[in-house]
Amino acid sequence: MNVDLIAIDLDDTLLRADLQISEGNKNALMEAQAFGLRIVLASGRNVHSMRDYAEELGLTGPGDYMICSNGAEIIHSASGRVLDERRLDPALCRELAQAIESRGFPWQIYEEGMIHASRANAWALEDSRLTGQSVILVEDREEFFAKGLIKFVIPGEPTLIAGLMRELDAQFSGRAIVLTSKPYFLEVLPIGADKGSALVRLAAMLGIALERAMAIGDAMNDLGMIRAAGFGCAPANASPEVRAAARYVSERTNEEDAVADLVERVALAS
């Protein structure tokens, strides 16, 4: 086999629209594990909303790891220990909050398994549905900013989010990473906190050559790991940019066991 590690995005890649892992995908990943391949969940979600999926797939042993918060954290699954972390510094957090609010957008941060929203909004409730985390309003922002943040999430209408992304990317170029995890969620992360950089760091920790890594994802926040891995892959429902960057593109969508298709065609057949 030419693959030693498979990094897999969750939403719209491994998960169906009902947020479940299909039996086909589960069986393919179990088969890959039986052959000794490492399976790494790599998501924009934090560890609190990823843990149940890791447990469902049996990825909570001493040799299992998760890439969380779009690469801002690498976590040891069994112990929950944070092996690698990137944070936006306090001064930058204050500047970002001002820049976001001055353009009329709310923002969200994630701490201790909860979504902390700057103001009530329907998008925060959608995020709660997707991740299973409760939403509460921020009462003392300085309490959060003082220790730095893993990331900001800015929700909004997709057309407005696209414009905001261009503006924030220009304003904070070289100081933060600005990307979309969904068309209605813009994320601002520390430099070095993307899935591709995290995959590079994790592969180095494990002594695995990137040429022998496989990555599967559908959205802009997956581009880094798809480009970094020797076997970058995408489901049929991936964005045009992701499909163009992928070495292999499944003819199936996330609703049709695309992960199983790619694992069987690329990892298990190599």
Domains of the chain (ranges; CATH) run 5-85+193-267 (3.40.50.1000), 90-190 (3.30.1240.10)
Q: What pTM value is reported for the model?
A: 0.88
The pLDDT value given to residue 111: 83
pLDDT at 132: 85
- Which contacts qualify for 27-34: CB closer than 8 Å, 24 or more apart? 27/260, 28/257, 28/259, 28/260, 28/263, 28/264, 28/268, 29/57, 29/259, 29/260, 29/263, 30/57, 30/58, 31/263, 31/268, 32/6, 32/263, 32/267, 32/268, 33/58
Task: Show pLDDT as tens, one digit a residue, over the chain (270 residues).
Answer: 699 999 999 999 999 999 999 999 999 999 999 999 999 999 999 998 999 999 999 999 999 999 999 999 999 999 999 999 999 999 999 999 999 999 999 999 988 888 999 998 888 888 888 888 888 898 889 988 999 999 999 999 999 999 999 999 999 999 999 988 888 899 999 998 899 999 999 999 999 999 999 999 999 999 999 999 999 999 999 999 999 999 999 999 999 999 999 999 999 985
Of the candidates 237, 254, 264, 267, which has an alpha carbon nearest to the alpha carbon of residue 22? 254
| Cβ atoms of 5 and 37 closer than 8 Å | yes
Laid out side by side, the sheet with 5-8 consists of 82-85, 73-76, 65-68, 38-42, 5-8, 213-216, 231-234, 248-249
How far apart CA 17 and CA 7 sit, in angstroms, is 20
Amino acid 93: pLDDT: 96
DSSP assignment of 10-40: IIIIIB-TTS-B-HHHHHHHHHHHHTT-EEE
Is residue 165 within 8 Å of 180, Cβ to Cβ? yes
Residues 6+ apart with CB under 8 A from 268: 1, 28, 31, 32, 35
Q: Identify the pLDDT of residue 41.
A: 98
What per-residue confidence (pLDDT) applies to 228? Answer: 97
Q: What is the pLDDT of residue 270?
A: 59
